[in-house]
Amino acid sequence: MDSKAIRQLMRERRQALSPQQQDAASSGLAQQLSNLPAFRNSKRIAFYLANDGEIDPQLAMGIAEAAGKECYLPVLHPLKLNRLYFVRYCQGDPLSVNRFGIKEPLLRSRYIVPPLGLDLILLPLVAFDRHGNRLGMGGGFYDRTLATQQRATRLIGLAQSCQETDSIHHQSWDVTLQAIVTERNVIQTR
């Protein structure tokens, strides 16, 4: 199956989940993440706001905030095409809607941190395999932003377990994940 077909199938799977299934998955994800050493030992963590049926890390963000960790969210870079900024965020901060209809924090320069300044980046994904390969929505925002990323920042994908596939063709520009966390388990890829 090609990437386009995998992407379509997995988006349909996650969108077909009921609100109760989504809530249970969010709770399971928070439990899996809070037990993960990479999460517990990180002081600066980038999350995302769930969209289009993505597994929701908001409960995990609440756990991080309660533990005194700094939380960040991606914001579309206003000048560089298909790039992201990471902006400090506390739950309840004002949000705006970007050109894709996705909520993001207001761009405030004193709260911007480059990817290298983060301990952990939690990435949304459409599909994944057990080798750390992922398919996103197709825009390449994370891949371009993290292309020169040093290995000091851990990259962990978040997904529903139903989004797993046997194999994803790895492109030279694709960023590989160190782990994938679902509502059921943690899949270490290295």
Domains of the chain: 3-188 (3.40.50.10420)
State residue 42's pLDDT score: 97
Question: What gap in Å lies between CA 180 and CA 13, rounded to an integer?
Answer: 18
Q: Strand pairing of 84-88 and 120-124?
A: unpaired
Q: Which residue has the tokens 């962990």?
A: 156
Per-residue DSSP letter, 54: P
- Measured from the Cβ of residue 78, the count of other Cβ atoms closer than 10 Å reads 9
Coil, strand or helix at 40:
helix
**Helices and strands per DSSP (H, E), number in the chain:** 5, 12
**Banded model confidence at residue 44, pLDDT cuts 50, 70, 90:** very high
CA distances from 160 to 89, 153, 189 (A): 24, 23, 17
Cβ-contact 162, 14 below 8 angstroms:
yes
Joined tokens for residue 190: 């290295």
pLDDT, the chain, mean: 89
**Banded model confidence at residue 144, pLDDT cuts 50, 70, 90:** confident
Q: Which is higher by pLDDT, 170 or 129?
A: 129
Over residues 122-136, the mean pLDDT reads: 91
CA dihedral 67, 19, 189, 155 (to 10 degrees): -50
